Amino acid sequence: MAFAQIRWVVDKRVLLLKLLGKYDVEALKQGVLELETFLQQGKQPLYLIVDQTEISDYPKNFREPINIISPLHEKYPTAWTIIITSNAMFRFFGAVIANTFKMQFRPVKSMSEACDVIEGVDPALAMQMRATLSTEMPD
């Protein structure tokens, strides 16, 4: 099984990165290359939603994924990065990364809450998102 699935929720504006299974550094590196391809195609302002609800194992050392992922943020900044997780440690980890890179970040517990965050910034985009998600996947 792939460690990550990546797709547009709203074409070239809202990107969904769904992480799956156990953390694997090599799979993360491959996923970052794939994610970069999507980010290159994106239009600003770009929103990234990272769904971690199906991760069964987290990295033991958070510095490793930070070092792998951070060059992407520097090269392709997002208007908001929203992480869907109920894991308190990862919510904290996300906040530390956001502070380090001066990025807009919000941890949420569901896709519906992710839509709410975007609705606060861009209601029309959130409406497109909700329409797409209602036909594709349950919350």
pLDDT value at residue 138: 52
pLDDT in tens, 39-49: 999 999 999 99
pTM: 0.88
Determine the angle formed by the axes of helices 63-75 and 25-41, rounding to 10 degrees: 10
* Banded pLDDT at 137 (limits 50, 70, 90): low
Which carries the bigger pLDDT value, residue 27 or residue 137? 27
Distance CA 79, CA 46 (A): 5
80-84: strand order across its sheet: 4-10, 14-22, 47-57, 80-84, 105-108
Q: pLDDT tens-digit profile of 71-88?
A: 888 899 899 999 999 888
- Identify the residue whose tokens are 């943020």: 73
- Domains, the chain, in order of start with CATH, read 7-37+49-110 (3.30.750)
**pLDDT over 70, % of the chain:** 96
